[in-house]
Amino acid sequence: MVFLVLGAIICYIFFQPLYDFLAGPMLILMKQHPNWKFVFTSFHQPFFVVLKISIIAGFVLAAPFITWQLWLFIAPALTREEKKPLKFVAPLSIFLFLAGVTIAYLLLRFAIHWFIGYVNYFPNAVLYQDPETYVLFVLKMLAAFGLVFQLPVVLMFLAWVGIINSKGMVKYWRHSVVIISVVGAIVTPSNDAFTMLMMILPVIGLYFASISLVKLVERVRKRPAA
């Protein structure tokens, strides 16, 4: 709770650059349509928008420290061998999360452009966008991509504790592709086909790349026994 509060305070202090970053994809499109604007429908809404963004972004900022606290809680229950993969899994997890967030941010403009394209179906229509709805949509998109890109880390950990193996991953790759596609379709906030494909295809690639990582984990696990 302390880390969450501190993260929220930091994000509140730097709210303006944070908001400019999140609103960037929409602002680019709004420059092409000067009569489109962000609009608040009540006087108290700006306060709650700032509060929600600060708390959610603060949680993301504090996530490494919160994860550290969780690790301190479960560490006593793990053996020395079970603790070893966390030395390189943690940096890999951070890298994959940032990679997922980066891809999501780059795709946001295309997803938003796809939705806004339907405004043209209504002659003389003007878009007055609710900032809260838009920002929460962006945060969900970034979080969804960041979490889904954790697949290799999850598979490596499952392989380390002996729940899965590389042979099973190769044998059931078709089932895995179907599961990844279904999960990708569910967790993609925009629900448009382009964004779903841009999430599903890299994750499928990460799955096949994880087979090599799982083989590496299996070789490392055999060393103490040898």
pLDDT digits (tens, 9 = 90+) for 166-217: 888 998 899 999 998 888 888 777 667 777 887 888 889 989 988 888 888 7
Q: At what angle do helices 45-74 and 86-116 cross, to 10 degrees?
A: 160
CA dihedral 18→22→23→24, nearest 10 degrees, is 100
Q: Is the pLDDT of residue 2 over 90?
A: yes
* Whole-angstrom distance, CA of residue 175 vs CA of residue 70: 32
* Whole-angstrom distance, CA of residue 138 vs CA of residue 5: 22
Q: How is residue 48 written in tokens? A: 């709650």
Q: Is residue 155 within 8 Å of residue 215, measured between CB atoms?
A: no
- Residue 212 structural domain: 2-225
More confident site: 86 or 200: 200
Q: Is the pLDDT of residue 224 over 60?
A: no
* Whole-angstrom distance, CA of residue 136 vs CA of residue 92: 27
Q: Is residue 96 within 8 Å of residue 152, measured between CB atoms?
A: yes
Q: How is residue 9 written in tokens? A: 């305070």
* Whole-angstrom distance, CA of residue 172 vs CA of residue 194: 26
* Whole-angstrom distance, CA of residue 47 vs CA of residue 71: 35
- The pLDDT of residue 175: 92
β strands within the chain, DSSP E: 37-38, 128-129
pLDDT digits (tens, 9 = 90+) for 10-65: 999 999 999 888 888 888 888 888 888 889 888 888 998 899 889 988 888 887 78
**Sign of the Cα pseudo-torsion (107, 192, 117, 128, in order):** negative
Q: Is the pLDDT of residue 82 over 70?
A: no
**Domains held by the chain: number:** 1
- The pLDDT of residue 13: 94
CA angle centred on 180, ends 179 and 185, rounded to 5°: 100
For the entire predicted model, the pTM comes to 0.77
- The pLDDT of residue 178: 92
pLDDT digits (tens, 9 = 90+) for 107-157: 888 888 888 888 888 888 888 888 888 888 888 888 888 888 888 888 887
Question: Could you give phi then psi for residue 127, rounded to 5 degrees?
Answer: -95, 120
